[in-house]
A and B are shown apart, each in its own frame.
Chain A
Amino acid sequence: MGAAGVVEQGGPLLSVRNLRQYFKIPGGNVVKAVDDVSFDIMPGETFGLVGESGSGKSTTGRAVIRLDDITSGSIVFDGDDISGKLSKEVAQRLRTNMSMVFQDPMASLNPYRKVIDTIATGLDAHRPHMDRREREELVYQMMDRVGLSRSQANRYPSQFSGGQRQRVGLARALIMNPKLVIADEAISALDVSIQAQVVNLMRDIQQETGAAYLFIAHDLSMVRYISDHIAVMHLGHIVESGRTDEIFSHPVHPYTRSLISAIPRFNPQVERDRHPLVYDAKAQGIRYDEGSYHIVSGTHSVLATDQQLEAWVD
């Protein structure tokens, strides 16, 4: 247990243990979208959760923020157990202290609501009797912070470009001053030049507010930039996790290695003849339910059997 097994000063902000999320599909089958996942996120850090589509990374994010009811496991956030039915007080704390930024800059904003109302969603939900002027002022401050101009407050989402819309989504997530922001593929639908803007902005905001991020992505290159810790997910399991430098300098699991080798090099002389590693769990005879978590060094742990670990480490 304890994939991350973080030993640091102070308790973790979020602690996920043995999270399982199974879905029944028509025909009586069960899809194990997330299977025995454990990790910790410390206050103020960025935790990158990486994997391909279907790896269960987004399901994990949705389970943590309780968009779905989990199958089993425990989630402790800021001292509250949020894995079961939420009491009113716990729900109130969860909804104000944890928020989410979504992938699709178009679908994540209601086309019929003005940007000012979208950003104020959290305020309206938790402080319904707030003075109008105060509400406006808080929204304006947030717009300044994410790089939108106040004159845009009364516009509708269709009047913004993709990057601007994602800033609106970020402002909505930050308005209650959350301790944890889950960014679910928050930049993958954006153009490269805009991705960099949003990543920089998120880092700036983290420095100002001390919020922790759960950064979910399929693309390791940006995750590497923003994350302190990384967990690599595949087929519902965390196959490897550790500090960013540990993962990148000593990747152990063959899936992690193939992901790292798939990061494109922007160098035609190198890239043309480079053939990224191929990973096929079935063909290589790797079964995740047979493995257990082994500590490689410090916070760095790998899901493997003893023999596999031996073969991979050298």
Chain B
Amino acid sequence: MTSERKRILKIRDLRVSFKTANGLVHAVRGVDLDVYRGETVAIVGESGSGKSVTAKQVMGIRTRNEVVESGTAEFTYVGSDGAEHTVDLMSLSDKEMVGLKGNHIAMVFQDPLTSLDPTMTIERQLAEGIREHTDLTGSDLHARCVELLELVGITEPEARLKSYPHQLSGGMRQRVVIAIALSCDPDLLICDEPTTALDVTIQARILDLIIELQRKLGISVIFITHNLGVVAKVADYVNVMYAGKIVEAGTTEDVFFDPRHPYTWGLLSSMPSVSASREERLFTIKGNPPNLLNEIVGDAFAPRNPFALEIDFVKEPPRFEVNDHHWAATWLLDPRAPKVEMPAQLRSRIAQMRQDGGEAR
């Protein structure tokens, strides 16, 4: 998958702030992101890290007090004329954005109940989406609705089409939302915490569905989540976000088996693992995430970072390449830095994971 990878989205130096009465909240502070055709890119971070705001820029979804300070988002797609187009999503008008959103980019939100209209049947909501960008009518339209519900694994699609959202279970609703998102044959699907509101036993099945659809339809997916378990399951590439910046990026294997940023270390360590013993104390990242109202000097993670260097409090770390598909923004990777190893607890956990992975194959 190295040579013919085709980039469909290229975000550069994205900076977004929110105007509040208490000042500017710098929610996204210089994000670069690449999405390639047919791949799943995860953005993982805690609440307030800016992961959702970043993704919503791609969809042109902004609140009134939101200010885009800088940034480009070049989106490449094959138009109806068969030729390839590249547009900057950040400089599109609302009207142009609507056309793109209907035909090439779709989004699935966290709460399926709020993304569906409670007063309309599933069929009407689905048909509305389809009609916007095709000329299907009558029985063709109905057939397409049935086909879409089948695609997302809903049994008895004919009966379900007549239902209202409240008559369906949470998992079923999210499948409908995904079906609506897929109704326009998107090139890029953005999933914003699509399983967080669902019960644990349902979550895995929705994830399986998204993976399956992605493989079957060859679409690209941006997956936003705070859950590393979800990342491990769905992602080809991972971007770890903290305080409005991506601090580490790489393939899923890079980030899980060879993490370099102390924040990633902390995140991976604080997960309770299935195999670890109960007496073991959970690893924690001390302190609280920074308030993005304040100006951040140096590395935003420094006050919580037990491995912080003095320079972390003075100067923002640049990116250090670990290999051609893995980088981290931490001064620990600078040649001048003292040699710091990841915590022993995490190291043994990773060794265990490698072993399990080997057995699984």
Q: Tell me the complex Cα distance, A114–B288, Å.
A: 20
User: Is A297 part of the binding interface, using a Cβ–Cβ cutoff of 8 Å?
Assistant: no
Beta-carbon nearest neighbor of B276 in chain A: A225
Among listed B6-14, B202-210, B309-317, interface-contacting one: B202-210
Among listed A25-33, A120-128, A273-281, interface-contacting one: A273-281
CB <8 Å contact, B201 and A200: no
User: Is A177 part of the binding interface, using a Cβ–Cβ cutoff of 8 Å?
Assistant: no
Beta-carbon nearest neighbor of B204 in chain A: A276
Chain B nearest CB, measured from A196 CB (Å): 4
Q: Tell me the complex Cα distance, A264–B234, Å.
A: 12
CB <8 Å contact, B278 and A224: yes
Q: Tell me the complex Cα distance, A203–B278, Å.
A: 11
Most B-side CB within 10 Å, residue of A163, A193, A225, A278: A193
Contact with A along B323-356 (1 / 0, CB 8 A): 0000000000000000000000000000001101
B216 contacts across to A, CB distance below 8 A: none
CB <8 Å contact, A200 and B284: yes
User: Is B256 part of the binding interface, using a Cβ–Cβ cutoff of 8 Å?
Assistant: yes
User: Is A110 part of the binding interface, using a Cβ–Cβ cutoff of 8 Å?
Assistant: no
CB <8 Å contact, A268 and B47: no
Chain A nearest CB, measured from B298 CB (Å): 20
User: Is A262 part of the binding interface, using a Cβ–Cβ cutoff of 8 Å?
Assistant: yes
Residue in contact with B284 in the complex, picked from A197, A268, A276, CB distance below 8 Å: A197
Chain A nearest CB, measured from B311 CB (Å): 24
Q: Tell me the complex Cα distance, A145–B125, Å.
A: 53
Residue in contact with A258 in the complex, picked from B201, B228, B266, CB distance below 8 Å: B201
User: Is B120 part of the binding interface, using a Cβ–Cβ cutoff of 8 Å?
Assistant: no
A276 contacts across to B, CB distance below 8 A: 201, 204-205
Q: Tell me the complex Cα distance, A286–B282, Å.
A: 37
A265 contacts across to B, CB distance below 8 A: 229, 232, 274, 356
CB <8 Å contact, B288 and A163: yes
Among listed A4-12, A67-75, A215-223, interface-contacting one: A215-223
Contact with B along A71-97 (1 / 0, CB 8 A): 000000000000000000000000000
Residue in contact with B281 in the complex, picked from A161, A200, A220, A221, CB distance below 8 Å: A200
Q: Tell me the complex Cα distance, A164–B266, Å.
A: 19
Beta-carbon nearest neighbor of B170 in chain A: A53
CB <8 Å contact, B204 and A275: yes
User: Is A311 part of the binding interface, using a Cβ–Cβ cutoff of 8 Å?
Assistant: no
Interface residues on B, range: 35 or more
CB <8 Å contact, A264 and B232: yes
Residue in contact with B228 in the complex, picked from A192, A197, A219, A259, CB distance below 8 Å: A192
Given A224-B278, A268-B256, do A52 and B201 touch, yes or no (CB 8 Å)?
A: yes
Chain B nearest CB, measured from A42 CB (Å): 17
Residue in contact with B270 in the complex, picked from A164, A192, A264, A273, CB distance below 8 Å: A192
CB <8 Å contact, B353 and A269: yes
Q: Tell me the complex Cα distance, A123–B284, Å.
A: 32
CB <8 Å contact, A196 and B268: no
Chain A nearest CB, measured from B231 CB (Å): 8
Residue in contact with A270 in the complex, picked from B205, B283, B360, CB distance below 8 Å: B360
Given A52-B199, A268-B256, do A192 and B226 touch, yes or no (CB 8 Å)?
A: yes
A52 contacts across to B, CB distance below 8 A: 199-201
CB <8 Å contact, A191 and B47: yes
Residue in contact with B360 in the complex, picked from A193, A273, A278, A279, CB distance below 8 Å: A273
Q: Tell me the complex Cα distance, A222–B289, Å.
A: 22
Q: Tell me the complex Cα distance, A265–B231, Å.
A: 10
Q: Tell me the complex Cα distance, A32–B156, Å.
A: 29
Chain B nearest CB, measured from A248 CB (Å): 9
Q: Tell me the complex Cα distance, A268–B283, Å.
A: 21
Q: Tell me the complex Cα distance, A164–B287, Å.
A: 9
Residues of A within 8 A of B (CB): 52-53, 161-164, 191-197, 199-200, 203, 218-222, 224-225, 244, 258-259, 262-276, 278-279
26 A-B residue pairs with CB within 8 Å: A161-B291, A162-B47, A164-B288, A191-B46, A191-B47, A192-B267, A193-B266, A193-B267, A196-B270, A196-B282, A197-B285, A225-B272, A244-B278, A259-B201, A262-B201, A262-B204, A264-B229, A266-B353, A268-B232, A268-B235, A269-B353, A269-B361, A273-B360, A276-B204, A276-B205, A278-B201
Known: A192-B267, A194-B288, A197-B284. 8 other contacts (CB 8 A): A200-B282, A200-B284, A244-B278, A258-B201, A263-B200, A268-B232, A270-B360, A272-B232
User: Closest 5 A-B residue pairs measured CB to CB?
Assistant: A264-B229, A269-B357, A52-B199, A191-B46, A193-B285
